[in-house]
């Protein structure tokens, strides 16, 4: 029971020390607690420990949790694969959708986001290591997609997200993160007002923060191993 609180504090300490090690402030790295497969009671414990941002991968699993925890200040991020016939539910339930990787999905989210709600925050998911099985836009296609998505009025394009090829080698982790950061900086130079570089998970936090991550997505290190 006290475990989620203490692991959350440990992760926050880790983020702060990685940030300090590269002369960044810890407040520049936002923590998304990835609560996929965890019951709403676990999310409630994290909320009570001060955590606000939560990430979910599966719509059908997320919806009842979002409903059960309504009005408690949670900010919900969708970080799973997007089926285009599910965009209406995503647009209604989430604050962020981090895995937009094609224009059709962006257009549907824009059309379906209620005018009574704030614009939906989105990130474009980039297949930064060009893995055939992985979701995400290829790096060379990002500028055109970003330009088009940034013009959709019910969306607010915040930045880029990636899940690099799995490796325990910090040098290779940094190469992938650095490529994503360069793409992000190029878009900003081109005039897009982006503030979010969503990269880094339990196993590669240090490399991601060193390379400029502004948002890390951590599941296991907060909630324990997934069963």
Footprint of ligand PLP (CB under 6 A): 34, 36, 57, 79, 163, 201-203, 217-221
Helix, strand, coil shares, percent, the chain, to 5: 45, 20, 35
Nearest approach in angstroms of CB 179 to ligand PLP is 18
In this complex, which beta carbon is closest to ligand PLP, that of residue 6 or of residue 114?
Answer: 6
Strand partners, 56: 78
Say if CB 180 and CB 144 are below 8 A apart: no
Nearest approach in angstroms of CB 221 to ligand PLP is 6
In this complex, which beta carbon is closest to ligand PLP, that of residue 115 or of residue 168?
Answer: 168
Question: Which H/E stretch holds residue 2?
Answer: helix 2-21
Among all residues, whose Cβ is closest to ligand PLP? 219
Q: Which tokens go with 184?
A: 């992000």
Alpha carbons 135 and 99: distance in angstroms, whole number:
8
Question: Which residue matches tokens 């009025």?
Answer: 153
Nearest approach in angstroms of CB 114 to ligand PLP is 26
Nearest approach in angstroms of CB 202 to ligand PLP is 3
Question: Which residue matches tokens 């069963």?
Answer: 227
Nearest approach in angstroms of CB 203 to ligand PLP is 6
In this complex, which beta carbon is closest to ligand PLP, that of residue 136 or of residue 139?
Answer: 136
Alpha carbons 102 and 94: distance in angstroms, whole number:
18
In this complex, which beta carbon is closest to ligand PLP, that of residue 41 or of residue 220?
Answer: 220
Nearest approach in angstroms of CB 165 to ligand PLP is 14
Q: Which tokens go with 209?
A: 């923060």
In this complex, which beta carbon is closest to ligand PLP, that of residue 16 or of residue 147?
Answer: 16
Q: Which tokens go with 165?
A: 């090829």
In this complex, which beta carbon is closest to ligand PLP, that of residue 79 or of residue 82?
Answer: 79
In this complex, which beta carbon is closest to ligand PLP, that of residue 194 or of residue 221?
Answer: 221
Question: Which residue matches tokens 């699993």?
Answer: 61
The count of other CB atoms within 10 Å of the CB of residue 60 is 8
Nearest approach in angstroms of CB 226 to ligand PLP is 7
Alpha carbons 220 and 149: distance in angstroms, whole number:
32
């Amino acid at each position: 029971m006290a475990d989620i609180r203490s692991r959350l504090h440990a992760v926050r300490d880790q983020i702060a020390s990685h940030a300090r090690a590269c002369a960044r402030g810890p407040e520049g790295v936002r923590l998304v607690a990835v609560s996929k497969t965890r019951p709403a009671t676990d999310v409630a414990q994290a909320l009570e420990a001060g955590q606000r941002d939560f990430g979910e991968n599966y719509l059908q699993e997320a919806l009842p949790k979002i409903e059960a925890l309504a009005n408690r200040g949670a900010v919900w991020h969708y970080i799973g694969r997007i089926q285009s016939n599910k965009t209406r539910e995503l647009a209604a339930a989430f604050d962020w959708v981090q895995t937009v990787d094609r224009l059709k999905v962006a257009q549907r989210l824009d059309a379906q986001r209620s005018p009574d709600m704030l614009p939906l925050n989105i990130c474009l998911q980039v297949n930064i290591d060009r893995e055939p099985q992985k979701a995400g836009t290829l790096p060379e296609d990002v500028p055109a997609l970003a330009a088009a998505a940034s013009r959709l009025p019910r969306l607010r394009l915040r930045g880029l997200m990636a899940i690099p090829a799995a490796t325990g080698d910090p040098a290779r982790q940094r190469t992938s993160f650095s490529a994503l950061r360069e793409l992000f900086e190029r878009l900003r130079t081109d005039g897009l007002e982006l503030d979010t570089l969503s990269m880094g998970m339990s196993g590669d936090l240090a490399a991601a923060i060193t390379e400029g991550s502004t948002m890390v997505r951590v599941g296991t290190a907060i909630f324990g191993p997934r069963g």
